[in-house]
């Protein structure tokens, strides 16, 4: 009697853009901007979906190093200059992700919206799409390349441009609540939120420009927690985790 081979995993979403906050990389104990253990844990989660053939694009923020708007307000830097500083911070984080993923055996390309050919490829949509089609993880750094736009907007833009099936936003909490669950014990979590309800109730999913772009392009957004091991894998397989906005 022979045992039949298990069928290959069949992910529900074939191409995703994963938006990571730069803050998730920070070591909360000593304040170091990039914690190597956290970095590796994130990359191992990405590798799990890479290994089953999911096409993955990553957009990383830079708030662990410098946050444009709040940094400008606190440090007296001009807003435009502060935004460019924040965009450069995303390149630093992108290089860290690329290095870690490559050490795990993942083929990676780093593209920057701000030309810096010594460090990264320039963002070219056709090239990025080809990389994804060939099974390479693409890290999109440098935001949109323009001040006054967040990395949330960059993620929504790249997801729309590349025809991603899902924009996945990793946060510190396991979905969208009617109020801050870390401050209010009676906060209620939503499993599913229509775009129109999210707009009406002013739910803090992402900034209005990013959210409007997703809504116009009918791009579903999944808000979930990176603190739960295997969450990215479960999401691409179609399990109901976090909060789905569509």
Whole-number average pLDDT of the chain: 89
Domain ranges, ordered by start, for the chain: 15-245
**Annotated binding site for UMP, which residues?**
62, 83, 144-151
User: What is the pLDDT at residue 127?
Assistant: 97
- Which residues participate in the annotated binding site? 19-22, 62-63, 67, 83, 144-151, 171, 177, 180
- DSSP result, 79-103: HHHHHHHHHHHHHHHHHHHHHHHHH
What is the per-residue pLDDT for 87?
Answer: 94
Buried b (16+ CB within 10 A) or exposed e, 18-42: bbbbbbbbbeeeeeebbbeeebeeb
Q: What is the rounded distance in angstroms from the CA atom of residue 171 to the CA atom of residue 187?
A: 16
Q: Which residues are annotated as a binding site for ATP?
A: 19-22, 63, 67, 171, 177, 180
Task: Write out the CATH class of domain 15-245.
Answer: alpha beta
Q: Among candidates 88, 63, 89, 60, which has minimal Cα distance to 74?
A: 63
| CA nearest to 127, candidates 161, 151, 168 | 161
Q: What digits encode the pLDDT tens for the residues 45-85? A: 999 999 999 999 999 999 888 876 665 566 678 888 889 99
Task: Give the H or E element holding residue 131.
Answer: helix 125-133
In which residue are the tokens 């030309």 written? 115
Give the model confidence (pLDDT) of 110-121 as tens digits: 999 999 999 999
Q: What is the pLDDT of residues 202-214, one digit of tens each?
A: 777 788 888 889 9
pTM for the model stands at 0.91
Separation CA 233–CA 45 (nearest Å) = 7
Which residue, 207, 209, 203, is CA-closest to 190? 203
List pLDDT tens digits, range 156-215.
999 999 999 999 998 878 888 888 887 888 888 889 988 888 777 777 778 888 888 998
Give the C-alpha distances (Å, rounded to integers) separating 195 from 41, 146, 173, 178, 219. Answer: 32, 26, 20, 15, 10
């Amino acid at each position: 009697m022979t045992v039949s081979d298990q069928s290959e995993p069949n992910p529900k979403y074939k191409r995703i853009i994963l938006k990571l906050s730069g803050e998730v990389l920070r070591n909360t104990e000593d304040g170091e901007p990039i914690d190597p253990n956290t970095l590796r844990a994130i990359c191992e989660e990405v590798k799990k979906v890479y290994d089953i053939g999911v096409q993955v694009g990553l957009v990383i923020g830079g708030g662990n190093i410098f946050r444009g708007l709040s940094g400008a307000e606190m440090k007296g830097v001009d807003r435009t200059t502060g935004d460019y500083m924040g965009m450069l911070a995303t390149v630093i984080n992108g290089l860290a992700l690329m290095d870690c993923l490559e050490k795990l055996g993942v083929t990676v390309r780093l593209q920057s919206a701000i030309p810096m050919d010594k460090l990264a490829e320039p963002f070219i949509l056709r090239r990025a799409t080809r990389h994804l089609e060939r099974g390479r993880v693409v890290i999109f750094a440098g935001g949109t390349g323009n001040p006054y736009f967040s990395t949330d907007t960059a993620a929504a833009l790249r997801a729309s441009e590349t025809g991603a099936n899902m924009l996945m936003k990793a946060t510190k909490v396991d979905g969208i609540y009617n109020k801050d669950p870390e401050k209010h014990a009676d906060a209620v979590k939503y499993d599913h939120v229509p775009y129109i309800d999210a707009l009406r109730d002013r739910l803090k999913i992402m900034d209005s420009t990013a959210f409007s772009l997703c809504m116009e392009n009918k791009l579903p957004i999944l808000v979930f927690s990176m603190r739960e091991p295997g969450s990215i894998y479960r999401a691409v397989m179609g399990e109901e985790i976090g909060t789905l906005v569509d």
